[in-house]
A and B are shown apart, each in its own frame.
Chain A
Amino acid sequence: MTLPPMLSVTDLRLGFVAGRQTLLAVDGISFTISRGETFALLGESGCGKSATAQGLMRLLPSAGRIAGGSVSLDGEDLLALPEAEMRTWRGRRMAMIFQEPATSLNPVLTVGRQIGEVLERHLGLAGVAATERMLDLLRQVGIADPERRLAEYPFQLSGGMKQRVMIAIALAGEPELLIADEPTTALDVTVQAQILDLLAKLQVDRGMGMLLITHDLGVVARMAHRIGVMYAGELVEVASREDFFTAPAHPYTQALFAALPEVSRRGAALITIPGQVPSLAAMPAGCRFAERCPQVMPVCREQSPEWREATAGHAVRCHWQSALGESALPVVSAVNDAVGQETVGNLLDVADLKVHFPIRKGILQRTVGHVFAVDGVSLAISPGRTLALVGESGCGKTTVGKALLQLIPPTAGSVRLTDRELVGMAAKPLRAARRHMQMVFQDPFASLNPRLRVGEIIAEGMSAFRLPGQLASDVETRERAVVALLDRVGLPATAVDRYPHEFSGGQRQRIAIARALAVLPELLICDEPTSALDVSVQAQILNLLKQLQAELGVAYLFITHNFAVVEYLAHDVAVMYLGRIVERGRAEEVLQHARHPYTQALLSAVPQPRLEADNGAKRIRLPGETPSPANPPSGCHFHPRCPKATDLCRERYPESTAVGTHVVNCHWPG
């Protein structure tokens, strides 16, 4: 870009007051954004990305302080402006989109009121003129029937729709700079693809500058022109999109790429970044990445590296000088991918499982309908293999997991675990049967009781089942068993006496895995175990799961929405849509030769973290969003969004057809 930069940030330093000292969350970052350019700030959680965005808008939380530096937009120093004047800039010259569309709209105001507020404040529009403008804005962000939507409240809109409204609000003041803080993290892939397309189009149309904050390399590859990688409050690498994806220079960046699970890495352990981001209170003196860096040199620990140009426009802050494209990372040895042989008997057989939740209304609480959360799911898991259950949010995949464990009583169907029927089993044998099947939950912060020590948490299952033999007999052997489990999941024995809050997200997930393994289950139901974790930590957990499977022969039911994880880990895949499985089969076959249009669309909507010919035609874009499971469409559930839908699809739900080794529920597989 040869245009003069519109936004330039120089040596910005932001801190948070804690006690008597100010801890710097952002320590001297500098970057520029030109008109029409997208600059992506990439980094893991806790590295200061969001603080930077809040600092630019001067919307830091009350403990936040701007410690130094300057931010200038079109030559005006924003940090020097009085607050009253700053308010005319926010929304007018620069606008922000937040991560969570569900909480960034006021639930008691109509959409029209919320957009109108900006128009009135910044453009002085009111009455008919404002309404015209609002309709225009809603049309621009791709909302159908805008006249009706204006009078609606946020709860009447779906997640993607809310994010579109949020974007419309941000655009209402016609800003020159748009700050998007993880704008699609809370959305499903197919909706994420729609929103990213929308943002890209709007940016080109209006020539806005955009600061995109994300942790997702795929989103970066799809959207950014230039990229800045943040680590522990500092920028460590700034590069153009091409340079960034072809020749990442900083060891941290390289490690981020290497930690991504994907097909080509099947059978190999993922590269992980050891340790974790240093806390704000204990920043190392030299290079902040030194502790975790594979190429660390003595100088790294003493001296913070200076900026260095790798190639023109590609700056990196590292002492280590690599040859172009050379990787800082060690070569990984392949772990043996102990794919369980397809044995004769299945460990778990699920046939036509249904979970319907009644919708009650009125004083007498009469049932007026049902939410068909799970509506006839059949699947089978063999010992020692991994079945991935994939689908977007709200398709019922978590409900399936809980219904298998009988945590939610199924409405109909059968769940057979090693040939014993669990549905309708009496409470006592059911408790015994649950020993063979355990669950690892999504949110490591909610799945551990904060008031129990780690040792107690892990020992809970053992004492509940009074495991035979050495495990439950006396306290000492139980303690030894707990330490052995901690060791198995890679935690020190000293963890026993500590409380969960002292551990990071990844470590907590390890504790949760140890807790589930304590009762020696044969099947582990993993409900999105990595979706709340950073990429590098996710890699650690995936490696651990893989290693445990190789050593213990546990089977996994891996519930996820992340296709990269599926590709890396799963042996078999089942794709769910609106309470039903639409396609299942061997992982390679389903992922490479998807037959169901929904699977195809899902796969193509996943943003790939690599450079590719920006070929819009190849992508399949699904219109709309998943309908409500309380009121599923007639016939094939997918027909309202399906490009191939015909009259037949609208009338009749397709039977299962076997194509090769996999089974598809579609009238027109192919």
Chain B
Amino acid sequence: MTGFQIVVLWSDVLVWLLLAAGIGLGVLISKSPPLLAAWRRVGANRMGMASATILLAFLLIGLLDSLHYRVALDGKPGEKTQYGIEVLSLLDALAAPLRTKNEKTYSAPFATRLYAKETVDVPGLGAVREFPRLKHGGSHLGEREDEVLADAGFTAFRLAVLSLLAWLAVVAAVATRVGATANTAADIAVDGSGWQKIWRGETVFAWNAVLATLGLLLIVVVPLFYLSGQYHVFGTDKVGQDVLYQILKSVRTALIIGLVTTLVMLPMAVLLGIVAGYFRGWVDDVIQYLYTVLNSIPGVLLIAAAVLMMQVVIDSHPEWFATAAERADLRLLALCFILGITSWTGLCRLLRGETLKLRELEYIQAAQAFGVSSWRIILRHILPNLMHIVIIALVMDFSGLVLAEAVLSYVGIGVDPTMTSFGTMINNARMELGREPVVWWSLAAAFSAMFILVLAANLFADAVRDAFDPRAA
């Protein structure tokens, strides 16, 4: 039994704090009937709930990847335990086969041989150039290399059936719960069982959407993960790493870039935007000059300068970091801050304009006539009426930021090279697409994962916005 040391990275702290804040907010919401009613409306939205299910899956991956530890090295008993240099996460432990089963270089999804010819010594034939067998991909097949399709297909089918059964169990559990609550409301007894109600979409919570998404997710994900133990389902990259593993690791990077950056940007954009719009006068002038100046500096240049300076600071203080992971983590957070500080201007401008419009509305004047203080007016009357813009901007920025990270990695100023992200994956893909024959799977996998994440976030935000708009309710 090897010991381990828990490592708490700064970004881990932020992620778990965010989660705690989220749960705390949930508790607060459940105590306020109108807010609860609004969230019930979110719960009734099919599209919203389906995307929430997918987002939760991503979040789960991100959270698993945010519990870090270092494995103790085998040392002589009695000596002070030494810990490995590599910082691992719970996700790494769960996906150990993916992490460790590295090939030599590129291999296509479900391939049994490498994607590049090598000179191999074949006994009796001498040096032959051929596509060598993979060390891990499909190794259980032995000589029956041409049976990949049958083998993978059959395994996938078996597991799909299995996960279908598991899914049915979940459905049954939900159905009994729905049925139980319905029976207490006596009158619905005639309407049929909970099962029928879910099928017909008569439940208050959009169970049918959640269950359908869950079923789809199970049927796709379970066979995929099982097969990933035997094959490289998404292929391998240049150094032979499994692409699926990279995708899993990228999720956390994307979530952190998306969430932490917006957290940095949001208070600044909202506060400055509203203050400029509401107070006008010299406050407005100062804030306007500030963002006009910031806006007129080419964005990438500004970020590049900041990132390079930060890099110099980090490189000249190696003593700050015990491991490479800590360094990469700090660099990620610094990137978030830099992105946040340079990207608040758009939202700020929008909010200023909207506040200018709102402050002339009669209910604001009525509040002024009551002698309500300016900050209270801002909090009670202006901010809630700007929330829809904030939510839309947040979601659009989320996808924009994940993409911005890709662009910055392309220029070489993105996340630390040791850290996997959608950006670095896409960045690598530019070489791969120029290769002959083309390596498409890396890009395709990164693209699909990012697409699903951003789309789910967009749809969920739509549902939230609709539910919180009292005029549409």
Q: How far is the CB of B315 from chain A (nearest CB, A)?
A: 46
Judge whether A446 and B369 touch: CB under 8 Å: no
A516 CA to B370 CA, complexed, in Å: 9
Q: How far is the CB of B274 from chain A (nearest CB, A)?
A: 15
Interface members, chain B 375-393 (any A CB < 8 Å) = 376, 380-381, 384-385
A452 CA to B34 CA, complexed, in Å: 10
Judge whether B369 and A407 touch: CB under 8 Å: yes
A519 CA to B366 CA, complexed, in Å: 12
A450 CA to B365 CA, complexed, in Å: 14
Q: How far is the CB of B44 from chain A (nearest CB, A)?
A: 15
Whether a CB of chain B sits under 8 angstroms from the CB of A402 is: yes
Judge whether B363 and A449 touch: CB under 8 Å: yes
Whether a CB of chain B sits under 8 angstroms from the CB of A465 is: yes
Question: B367 contacts which chain A residues (CB < 8 A)?
Answer: 460, 464
Judge whether A450 and B470 touch: CB under 8 Å: yes
Judge whether B34 and A446 touch: CB under 8 Å: no
Interface members, chain B 443-473 (any A CB < 8 Å) = 470-471, 473
Whether a CB of chain B sits under 8 angstroms from the CB of A594 is: no
Judge whether A450 and B369 touch: CB under 8 Å: no
Given contacts A449-B385, A451-B470, A464-B371, contact A402 B365 (CB under 8 A): yes
Judge whether A501 and B365 touch: CB under 8 Å: no
Interface members, chain B 382-424 (any A CB < 8 Å) = 384-385
The stretch of A29-37, A348-356, A432-440, A634-642 in contact with B is A432-440
Whether a CB of chain A sits under 8 angstroms from the CB of B361 is: yes
Given contacts A434-B371, A464-B371, A501-B470, contact A446 B385 (CB under 8 A): no
Q: Which of B365, B373, B384 contacts A439 (CB 8 A)?
A: B365
A505 CA to B449 CA, complexed, in Å: 49
Question: A432 contacts which chain B residues (CB < 8 A)?
Answer: 371
Question: B365 contacts which chain A residues (CB < 8 A)?
Answer: 402, 407, 439, 441
Least CB separation from B384: chain A residue? A451
Whether a CB of chain A sits under 8 angstroms from the CB of B372 is: yes
Q: Which of B363, B369, B370, B473 contacts A448 (CB 8 A)?
A: B363
Judge whether B362 and A442 touch: CB under 8 Å: yes
Whether a CB of chain B sits under 8 angstroms from the CB of A116 is: no
Least CB separation from A405: chain B residue? B369
Judge whether B34 and A447 touch: CB under 8 Å: no
Whether a CB of chain A sits under 8 angstroms from the CB of B100 is: no
Whether a CB of chain B sits under 8 angstroms from the CB of A515 is: yes
Interface members, chain B 336-385 (any A CB < 8 Å) = 361-363, 365-373, 376, 380-381, 384-385
Q: How many residue pairs at the A-B interface have CB separations less than 8 Å?
A: 70
Interface size, A (range): 20 to 34
Q: Which of A434, A439, A453, A461 contacts B34 (CB 8 A)?
A: A453
A499 CA to B373 CA, complexed, in Å: 23
A449 CA to B362 CA, complexed, in Å: 9
Whether a CB of chain B sits under 8 angstroms from the CB of A443 is: yes
Interface members, chain B 73-102 (any A CB < 8 Å) = none
Judge whether A443 and B366 touch: CB under 8 Å: no
Least CB separation from A448: chain B residue? B363
Q: How far is the CB of A599 from chain B (nearest CB, A)?
A: 29
Q: Which of B368, B370, B381, B473 contacts A519 (CB 8 A)?
A: B370
Whether a CB of chain B sits under 8 angstroms from the CB of A652 is: no
1/0 per residue, CB under 8 A from B, across A451-464: the answer is 11100010011001
Judge whether A407 and B368 touch: CB under 8 Å: yes
Judge whether B370 and A465 touch: CB under 8 Å: yes
Question: B369 contacts which chain A residues (CB < 8 A)?
Answer: 405, 407, 434, 437-439
Interface members, chain A 503-520 (any B CB < 8 Å) = 512, 515-516, 519
Interface members, chain A 386-436 (any B CB < 8 Å) = 402, 405, 407, 430-432, 434-435
A464 CA to B363 CA, complexed, in Å: 14
Residue from the set A443, A446, A519 with the largest chain B CB neighbour count within 10 Å: A446
Residue from the set B363, B369, B373, B385 with the largest chain A CB neighbour count within 10 Å: B369
Interface members, chain B 150-192 (any A CB < 8 Å) = none
Least CB separation from B381: chain A residue? A449
Q: Which A residues have a C-beta under 8 Å from some C-beta of B?
A: 402, 405, 407, 430-432, 434-435, 437-439, 441-443, 446-453, 457, 460-461, 464-465, 497, 499, 501, 512, 515-516, 519
A-B contact pairs, 12 of them (CB 8 A): A407-B369, A438-B369, A441-B362, A447-B361, A448-B363, A450-B471, A451-B385, A452-B384, A453-B34, A460-B380, A499-B470, A501-B471
List 16 other contacts, CB 8 Å, given A407-B368, A464-B370, A497-B34. Answer: A407-B365, A434-B369, A434-B370, A437-B369, A438-B370, A439-B365, A441-B365, A442-B362, A446-B362, A447-B366, A449-B363, A449-B380, A449-B381, A461-B370, A464-B372, A465-B371
* Closest 3 A/B residue pairs (Cβ): A431-B371, A447-B362, A441-B362
